[in-house]
Structures are given as structure tokens and as C-alpha cells.
Amino acid sequence: MNNKILIAFDSTQQALRAEMLLEYADIEIDTRPTPKEITAGCALSIDIPHKDFQTVSKIISHEKVEIKGYYYKRIDKYELYTPPMVEGNGGE
């Protein structure tokens, strides 16, 4: 698997908001055009290091940033990224 996770958005406003929040959190990001294989309402996407996924997903969730989804590149196409389940997140 590629060491980058791509975040796709449905709006430019949400992409720019995420960019600002992640830069503020000192996450290494790369803002780039959304690959044509990913159908999204926004032409901007953000690449993040796989190692920062947990931190990024918490920021995105906490700040209620609306995203199309997380993707990773497998060989020559992008696939929806489904992170492994983390123990202890169930409701009691």
C-alpha cells in the first residue's frame, strides 16, 4: 500500500478548511488535484502520511469537516480506505 492517504471533499470550502486545520496541527500535507478516478464535487484533495491517519481523522471528525472519503492508491487505482477497528470505541 502507498504510504499516503488521500482525503477527497465535496466542496472547496471544506477542503480549504481541512487544509488550515491540518497545517495548524503541524500535519505534513500535500494539497493536490482530485484524481479523475474519484468522483467528488471538489477539484482539491489532500494527501496525508498514513502514519498520521488517526490524528487527522480525529481532527476531521471533531471539527465536523465534511469529506467525500479517505482513499489509498493500490497499484494503478484509488480505493476507499477503511481503517482497522480500534478496540475500546464501542458504546457502553
By C-alpha distance, which of 30, 25, 40 is closest to 6?
30
Instruction: Compute the distance between CA of residue 46 and CA of residue 75 in angstroms, rounded to an integer.
Output: 19
CB of 70 closer than 8 Å to CB of 59: no
The conformation of residue 71, written as its DSSP 8-state character, comes to E
Q: Name the band, by pLDDT with cuts 50, 70 and 90, for residue 85.
A: low
77-80 and 30-33 beta bridge pairing: unpaired
Average pLDDT of the chain?
89
pLDDT score of 89: 47
Looking at the DSSP bridge assignments, the partners of residue 46 are 7, 31
pLDDT score of 87: 53
Q: Which CATH architecture has domain 4-79?
A: 2-Layer Sandwich (3.30)
